[in-house]
Homo-oligomer: A and B are copies of this chain.
Amino acid sequence: MLSEQCKTRVQGYLDSSGSGPGKIIDWILIGLIVYSVVTLTIDTIPGLSPALKRFLTISEVVVTLIFTLEYALRVYSAPNRWRYIFSFWGLIDLVAIAPFYIFLGLGLAGVDLRGVRAFRLLRILRLLKLARYSRTLARFHRAFELAREELLIYLLLTLILLFVSATGIYYFENPAQPDAFASIPHSLWWAMVTLTTVGYGDVYPITAGGRFFTFFVLMVGLGIVAVPTGLISSALSQVRREESDARLAALEAEEAAQGRGDG
């Protein structure tokens, strides 16, 4: 009974939709996420002073302990513990703190685990919670749902186009530039950089044939940029129209009801 009450209270503190102390704790946790992400970022800069290095290490230990406490409390207070542990946010929370302990365990054993630290940055995804309760995100979600199948087909078309482009340019440019266009997988890099209009300039066709081919690829490539824009744009338009139609229908129903009441 007492334990149940305690659980409910802890839950209230951690629930970001709650008012009062829950809200404050939520903002503190968001601040800690931003802080930990910033310190982990700074930590990668080469040539930091030993004092700053030591400060960053200590601050990381402290922050990770707080997140561990948060995770433990969330597991403790969850109505259904296993469900929380295996939920999207539960896994993110675990993955964000686990590297520290693996690092501590194996790192003391002399294993180099620098790469594992990257997982701690997954914690940044929790910032998405900032937008969790907004109507806007619901609209985004609805628009993506409407356009989902179209986006998938667009992805399929993009992959085929990338492949066809890479194959074509390989046969045009390989004899002239055997290093830059060494194979079709190498040419895929060019195809991707070109079709997205990034154009780093590290590889580009120099033969007349390759340039003609690039012209055709780019004429279609502009469509690659255009189609998903059109998809999302038209889906968002529809969501907005649905919303205003729903408002209109509600209004009309109300008027009709009033009309009957008057009659």
A→B interface (CB under 8 Å): 37, 40-42, 44-46, 115, 118, 121, 124-125, 127-128, 130-131, 134-137, 139-140, 143, 149-150, 153, 155-158, 160, 163-164, 167-168, 170-171, 174, 178, 182-186, 189, 192-194, 196-202, 204, 211, 214-215, 218-219, 221-238, 240, 244
Contact of A41 among B185, B194, B233 (CB under 8 A): B185
B218 & A196 in contact (Cβ 8 Å cutoff): yes
Nearest-Cβ distance from residue A77 to partner chain B, whole angstroms: 27
The 10 closest A-B CB pairs, nearest first, are A230-B233, A198-B199, A201-B201, A226-B229, A230-B232, A45-B183, A200-B201, A44-B183, A234-B236, A41-B184
Nearest-Cβ distance from residue A101 to partner chain B, whole angstroms: 20
Query: Which residues in B have their C-beta under 8 angstroms from that of A136?
Result: 149-150, 153
Q: A202 with B204: in contact, given A196-B197, A229-B229 (CB under 8 Å)? A: yes
B228 & A223 in contact (Cβ 8 Å cutoff): yes
Query: Which residues in B have their C-beta under 8 angstroms from that of A155?
Result: 219
The answer for the CA separation of A56 and B185 in the assembled complex, in Å, is: 16
Contact of A156 among B37, B131, B192, B232 (CB under 8 A): B131
The answer for the CA separation of A19 and B238 in the assembled complex, in Å, is: 34
B236 & A231 in contact (Cβ 8 Å cutoff): yes
With A46-B182, A222-B228 known, 16 other A-B pairs at CB within 8 A are A37-B163, A40-B184, A46-B183, A118-B167, A124-B160, A124-B163, A192-B218, A196-B197, A202-B204, A225-B225, A227-B232, A230-B233, A230-B236, A233-B233, A233-B237, A238-B244
B200 & A204 in contact (Cβ 8 Å cutoff): yes
Query: Which residues in B have their C-beta under 8 angstroms from that of A184?
Result: 40-41, 44-45
